[in-house]
Amino acid sequence: MYPGIRDARGTLKSADHRVSVVSKLPGKRPNPSSASAISIEARREQDGIRDGIHSFNMALAAYRNILRATRIAFRGDAPVLAAAQGQVRNEFRQKSSLDSSSADAQAAIQHAQQVAKILRENVVQGRKSQGRDDTYKLRIHEQTERGDNESLLAAGSGGTMGGCGCR
């Protein structure tokens, strides 16, 4: 241990920490032949830990992202919001046993990000208008994807009954 090396909290740091901090400074590189240099195995282990921490942070970000998306998509509908958030929690608990750096964990994180995107951009809630049976009031928010209807209009120009363009 180097008695003068302290982190921001004042905690003493080991030689391994000193080398990794020095190696991040521009123009400063540790001498690989010195006794304080980190061995290749230790560096690989640190990289694995960093990858695991990075994957954990990505999973946490995906979890928060999907919870925010449920709040946006289901605002004002408490029972549906609670059910959606409960399902998100259950899915993440089931996947919590995966190794954070595995391909399955990465696929689950990617899936969660895609679900959050769909919830934000494509899910719109509607309520029946009072006094009208065939009219709904939609709650469209600022993140709702608004496309044009050109593809629908082009498909309907074929003169078919359903308007799908099928013959």
Query: Could you read off the pLDDT tens digit of each residue along the chain, which spans 167 residues?
Result: 344 455 555 555 554 444 444 444 455 555 555 545 556 656 655 555 566 677 788 889 999 999 999 999 999 899 999 999 999 999 999 988 888 778 898 899 999 999 999 999 888 888 888 877 788 888 888 888 877 777 767 766 655 555 555 54
Torsion angle defined by CA atoms of residues 70, 71, 76 and 80, in that order, rounded to the nearest 10 degrees? 30
Give the angle 58-140-152 at the CA atoms, nearest 5°: 100
In whole angstroms, give the CA distance from residue 28 to residue 24.
Answer: 7
Question: What is the β-pairing status of strands 125-128 and 136-139?
Answer: antiparallel
- The pLDDT of residue 67 is 95
The reported pTM is 0.57
Alpha carbon dihedral 41, 47, 51, 56, in 10-degree steps, equals 90
Q: Which residues contact 9 (CB under 8 A, 6 or more apart)?
A: none
State the first-to-last Cα distance of the chain, in angstroms, to the nearest integer.
Answer: 80
| pLDDT value of residue 22 | 44
Alpha-carbon span 60 to 105, nearest angstrom: 12
What confidence score (pLDDT) does residue 52 get? 63
Q: What is the pLDDT of residue 98?
A: 86
DSSP 8-state symbol, 143: T
Confidence (pLDDT) at 96: 86
pLDDT for the residue numbered 83: 96
Q: Tokens standing for 111?
A: 């899936």
What integer pLDDT is reported at residue 111 of this predicted model?
94
Calpha distance 104→96 (Å, rounded): 11
Helix axes 78-95, 40-73, angle to 10 degrees: 160
